[in-house]
Chains A and B, each alone.
Chain A
Amino acid sequence: MPDPSFIFAQSLSGLTAAMYLFLIASGLSLIFGVLRVLNFAHGSFYMLGAYGAYQLVQWLGTGHGRFWWATLGAALGVAILGGLVERLLFRYLYGKEELYQLLFTYALVLILSDVAKIFWGTQQKSVSRPPGLTGSFSLFGTTVPYYNLFILLLSPAIALGFWFVLRRTRAGRFIRAAALDRETLGALGVNVDRLYLGVFMLGSFLGGLGGALVTPVKSIVPGMDTEMIVEAFIVVVIGGLGSFWGTFLGALIYGQVLSFGILFVPRFSIFSVFALMAAVLIIRPWGLLGKPLK
């Protein structure tokens, strides 16, 4: 019987990882749910959010609240980049074969990864935790950094806010209607092109925000983009592509499986997650909370 405080520590670390994953994967899932394109460059947006936050922290020097401004600035910068990519490139992919989308977004992954290397090299970078959240406290014998607690609270808050927007606001009704039937929404007088742009920017914002917020707990390295897109992809496959709560559930499961899988197959902890995804794909190909595609 393992030590209970160890189990608690593992599940807490899995939960923290899950909250990051949710933030990032929800952007991927939103874009897929509405625009029906799977943006493999979403992991690259996450990476650029991290590098962007690092760069802004450098520029802002010792300014007051610099971490928060850098985080916001990086996420907005990624949203704007996402908007440009959607306008100039992505819009030609709507309704095209999946293979085109895959090849195209993969090309974007390669380009953005080289761009990041040109600007920031291959040395790993790091950002320190914002002042005020540098300490930690003890819970059931486990040390919990305040910053992790902040992430544990922020991510569900964003999830709830997001859900509220989708369910209770007019913008949310437009988004849900566009996900169901783009043509009809256009024939009712809605500028769906502009709506798509907004959704793509919002999804990219979430990816960039996840990247910026991860900088105090993970070092920024080339390759973090592909690592993240694989994880986010598994999360949405488990939860159900385009399903909001499915993404949340998928992230929670992923976090726990990963942090306990490490105990059984230490060197291949990702294996347990792949096994889980395979099981979901066999039993419920559309994911736990997703809907079968027509």
Chain B
Amino acid sequence: MPDRVLVVEDLYTAYGLSQVLFGVSLGVAAGECVCLLGRNGVGKTTTMRSIMGLTPPRRGRIAWKGQDITGREPFKVVSLGIGFVPEDRRIFADLTVWENLDVASRRQRSGGWTVERVYDLFPKLRELRDRQGGFLSGGEQQMLTIARTLMGNPELLLLDEPSEGLAPLVVEHMTEQIGRLKREGLTILLAEQNVEFSLDLADRVYVLEKGLIRYEGSAREFREDESIRHQYLAL
């Protein structure tokens, strides 16, 4: 498909001697929300880390808007317009909410995200702006980690399990805000185990198992195909 902004081809990634990805290929079109589903430990995070250059792949190719970015340093990948929201959130515990946002602000990229605008998206963060990151609740940390990545003005957001460990009400709020980002034109690649959460947002779905893509289809097809869900996801 020519309109795909992100193209991942035949990715092999390992941590030292332990090989995790065995030829992952996927694509994301501009404005799309694509979900990468899979059980624990199948390589969702590793796929995202490979794209970001945090764990460069041994083999394979990653192209962003036609440009080869395989193995580029993370800060360069960010400067080209890809943002990563890690599943373990990685808030700078001794920095305040505002400071966490400020270190992530990339003014050289256009996109218009400012501290005020992310406070508008997550009003709770405005109240908490002077609190140290280490003293936030899980849900507040999740808002902050997304807000922080937005400060880099990404065109593509890699969102790693944003619903993990959150109370149902907070997950609902998160769905709403991510949906809002999508409507504003942000392209999203979402890694999830929570099928309900993903299907509320996704246009298309990939299912990853043991380092390989086992299924690819539209969110609607996937919703209707019980057998796939039973086969690859513990439901």
Contact = CB atoms under 8 A, between A and B. Distances in A.
Given A181-B92, A189-B152, A192-B75, A173 B99 contact: yes
| Residue from the set B78, B79, B93, B106 with the largest chain A CB neighbour count within 10 Å | B78
B75 A189 contact: yes
Contacts of B54: 183, 186-187
Chain A CB within 10 Å, residue with most, of B92, B106, B151: B92
Interface string B194-224: 0000000000000000000000000000000
B86 A189 contact: no
Nearest to A291: B94
A173 B151 CA distance: 15
A174 interface: yes
A177 B75 contact: no
Given A189-B79, A190-B75, A190-B103, A177 B152 contact: no
A174 B100 CA distance: 10
A187 to B, nearest CB: 5
Contacts of B52: 187
A184 to B, nearest CB: 4
B79 A188 contact: no
B95 A186 contact: no
A191 interface: yes
Contacts of A173: 95, 99, 102-103
A181 B54 CA distance: 13
Contact of B104 (A176, A181, A189, A191): A189
B73 A188 contact: no
Nearest to A186: B74
B180 interface: no
Contact of B90 (A181, A189, A191): A181
A176 B84 contact: no
Contacts of A152: none
Interface residues of B, number: 24
Contacts of A176: 92, 94-95, 99
A187 B86 contact: yes
Contacts of A190: 75, 103
A180 interface: yes
A170 interface: yes
Contacts of A181: 90, 92
A257 interface: no
A183 B78 CA distance: 13
Interface in A234-266: none
A188 B95 contact: no
A280 interface: no
B214 to A, nearest CB: 28
B103 A185 contact: yes
Interface in A182-228: 183-192
A180 B94 CA distance: 8
Contacts of B46: none
Contact of B86 (A180, A184, A185): A184
A185 B103 CA distance: 8
Contacts of B102: 170, 173
A188 B99 contact: no
Interface string A162-182: 000000001001101100110
A75 B152 CA distance: 36
Contacts of A180: 92-95
Given A187-B84, A188-B148, A177 B78 contact: no
A186 B56 CA distance: 14
A94 B52 CA distance: 21
Contacts of A192: 75
Given A176-B92, A186-B73, A190-B75, 19 more contacts: A170-B103, A173-B99, A173-B102, A176-B99, A177-B95, A177-B99, A180-B93, A181-B90, A183-B54, A183-B90, A184-B86, A187-B78, A187-B84, A187-B86, A188-B149, A189-B74, A189-B78, A189-B79, A189-B106
13 contacts: A170-B102, A173-B95, A176-B94, A176-B95, A177-B92, A180-B92, A180-B95, A184-B90, A184-B92, A188-B104, A188-B148, A189-B78, A190-B75
Interface of A: 170, 173-174, 176-177, 180-181, 183-192
